[in-house]
Amino acid sequence: MSSLPGAAWDPPPPPATAPSCSSAQLDKLIEAADRTKLRAYADYSKFRVGAALLAADGSIFSGCNVENSSYGLTMCAERVAVFTAVAAGVTSFRAVVVTHDAKGTYVYPCGACRQVLSEFGDMDVYCVSPDGKVARSRLSQLLPQAFSKAELDKVALERSATP
């Protein structure tokens, strides 16, 4: 079976930038994501996901997916991790790790999570397969030309310049 270009099991080339965390930190992130994945509320999809964010100060915040019977209100693990960190007063991150149970594949953050993560700057995205393979990308690779507060600032500037 051939794989589709850009499919989740066909990771993009690794970025030219140096990894933003040490291998010891990466191990801790994977452990935190895997541990939190076990708490996933995935009664409908049975697709458990864990995420762990490495903050600039070295602290780690994790999340799991939380599904809902309405389906549309389901929240991804990555956003749960981001919201947990923000609620703790942390908004600067170096890396995010995503783990799941689907052997032989990488699972990347969905579009909504990429946008939410990009609010807090560029970072490494480590996608970890259950068999221990790790694919590193930069968030800016996965979401080029992300919408940002810079666009809002441009509009505000134009409004203030208008007589």
* Residue 78: active-site member: yes
What are the C-alpha distances in Å from 141 to residues 9, 11, 12, 42, 106? Answer: 16, 11, 8, 29, 16
Closest by CA to 127, choosing from 100, 154, 162, 90, is 100
Q: Is 82 in the site for Zn ion (CB under 5 A)?
A: no
DSSP-derived 3-state class of residue 12: coil
- Residue with smaller CB distance to Zn ion, 25 or 115: 115
Minimum distance between the CB of residue 49 and Zn ion, rounded to whole angstroms? Answer: 8
Q: Where are the alpha helices (DSSP H) in 38-128?
A: 77-87, 111-118
* Angle between helices 23-37 and 77-87 in degrees, nearest 10: 110
Catalytic residue among 31, 78, 151, 158: 78
Q: Is 26 in the site for Zn ion (CB under 5 A)?
A: no
Q: Which residue is nearest to Zn ion (CB)?
A: 76
Minimum distance between the CB of residue 120 and Zn ion, rounded to whole angstroms? Answer: 15
Contact 29, 52 (CB under 8 A): yes
Measured from the Cβ of residue 155, the count of other Cβ atoms closer than 10 Å reads 9
Residues 104-143 that bind Zn ion (CB under 5 A): 110, 113
Minimum distance between the CB of residue 42 and Zn ion, rounded to whole angstroms? Answer: 13
Residue of the chain from 76, 85, 117, 139 that contacts Zn ion (CB under 5 A): 76
- Residue with smaller CB distance to Zn ion, 73 or 161: 73
Residues that bind Zn ion (CB under 5 A): 76, 110, 113
Active-site residue set = 78
